[in-house]
């Protein structure tokens, strides 16, 4: 008698990968509409309230999905205290944002990794500096972003959690658009509200909220998440996010730009 379990597992994996990919495409579409109504139509900061909400992998996935449209996209790792994008894309972190902003290197090909996925470039965080918050709100950061806006269609900046340190808030003077990532059963409603108040208090514009780790067995938003929609135009993500950056096993995934499948990523 033949055993169909391996085939069934493969089919389940394909289905999960399909929904993960489609979820990010939906986020991409909503993000494009949201950015079209803003003054800065190119730069988006991605943050969370606390660590381990899925912020970095979500940023990578959104950047990859945007690049799949043929747009020229740059992903910047702005989390200079806890860099992770170089790990996700398997590149070095010897040079990067910290050295550029400190004047220790110039914005050339030794700082950027070209085509880590088709149409997607990466600027890693670089070595941890003693003053990351000050660097993010510096004149050098403004000059760098002004130059990069001319070179790219979209720029995504992976920033530290706003509930832990002020780095992301420091950057809002140069790039006000914010997408926030929250994790179900971890991020509390009051923490989200406090984060939104912080962002808006310094002139930031919240484009929306992405919820990760939403279980299939839960309702669309689950408990306290029902009120998140009022914080931005991405409130409707809830009905897609049960297929987002986490599978049932809890592993995080990123999208393979060539095949459209989701690749497993432990962090």
135-185 confidence digits (pLDDT tens): 999 999 999 999 999 999 999 999 999 998 889 999 998 999 999 999 988
CA–centroid distance for 100 within its chain: 21
Here the tokens at position 139 are: 């004149």
More confident call, 239 vs 97: 97
Here the tokens at position 198 are: 């912080």
**Tens digit of pLDDT for each residue in 104-146?**
988 776 789 999 999 999 999 999 999 999 999 999 999 999 9
**Tens digit of pLDDT for each residue in 9-64?**
577 667 667 778 888 999 999 999 999 999 999 999 999 999 999 999 999 999 99
Q: Give the side-chain half-sphere CA count within 13 A for 54.
A: 28
Q: What is the pTM of this model?
A: 0.79
pLDDT at 108: 73
Here the tokens at position 135 are: 């660097």
pLDDT at 7: 56
CB atoms closer than 10 angstroms to residue 114 = 8
pLDDT at 9: 55
Round the CA-based radius of gyration of the chain to a whole number and report it.
18
pLDDT at 260 over 70: no
Q: Are 152 and 122 in contact (CB under 8 A)?
A: no
Q: Are 176 and 199 in contact (CB under 8 A)?
A: no
**Max Cα separation, the chain?**
70
pLDDT at 213: 81
pLDDT at 23: 86
pLDDT band at 216; cut points 50, 70, 90: low
3-class DSSP assignment, residue 254:
strand
pLDDT at 180: 94
pLDDT at 266 over 50: no
- Domains delineated in the chain: 29-265 (3.40.50.300)
For residue 124, the 8-state DSSP code is: -
For residue 243, the 8-state DSSP code is: G
pLDDT at 193: 92
More confident call, 222 vs 90: 90
pLDDT at 2: 45
pLDDT at 259: 38
**Tens digit of pLDDT for each residue in 219-259?**
333 333 333 333 333 333 232 232 233 322 233 344 444 43
Segment holding 28, helix H or strand E: helix 5-36
pLDDT (average), residues 63-79: 97
3-class DSSP assignment, residue 227:
helix
| Max mean pLDDT range (70-74, 159-163, 191-195, 244-248) | 70-74
More confident call, 97 vs 222: 97
């Amino acid at each position: 008698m033949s055993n169909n379990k391996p085939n069934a597992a493969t089919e389940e994996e394909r289905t999960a990968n399909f929904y993960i990919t489609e979820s990010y495409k939906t986020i991409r579409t909503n993000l494009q509409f949201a950015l079209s109504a803003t003054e800065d139509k190119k730069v988006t900061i991605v943050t969370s309230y606390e660590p381990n909400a899925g912020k970095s992998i979500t940023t990578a996935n959104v950047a990859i999905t945007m690049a799949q449209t043929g747009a020229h996209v740059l992903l910047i790792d702005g989390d200079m205290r806890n860099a992770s994008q170089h790990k996700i894309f398997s590149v070095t972190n010897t040079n990067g944002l910290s050295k550029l902003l400190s004047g220790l290197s110039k914005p050339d090909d030794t700082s950027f990794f070209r085509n880590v996925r088709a149409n997607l470039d990466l600027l890693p965080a670089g070595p941890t500096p003693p003053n990351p918050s000050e660097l993010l709100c510096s004149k050098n950061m403004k000059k760098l972003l002004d130059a990069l806006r001319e070179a790219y269609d979209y720029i995504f900046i992976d920033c530290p959690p706003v509930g832990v340190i002020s780095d992301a808030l420091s950057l809002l003077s140069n790039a006000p658009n914010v997408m926030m990532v929250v994790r179900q059963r971890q991020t509390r409603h009051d923490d989200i509200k406090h984060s939104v108040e912080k962002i808006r208090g310094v002139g930031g514009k919240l484009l929306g909220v992405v919820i990760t780790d939403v279980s299939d067995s839960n309702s669309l938003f689950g408990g306290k998440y029902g009120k998140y929609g009022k914080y931005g135009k991405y409130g409707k993500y809830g009905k897609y996010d049960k297929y987002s950056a986490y599978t049932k096993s809890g592993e995080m995934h990123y999208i393979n730009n060539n095949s459209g499948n989701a690749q497993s990523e432990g962090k």
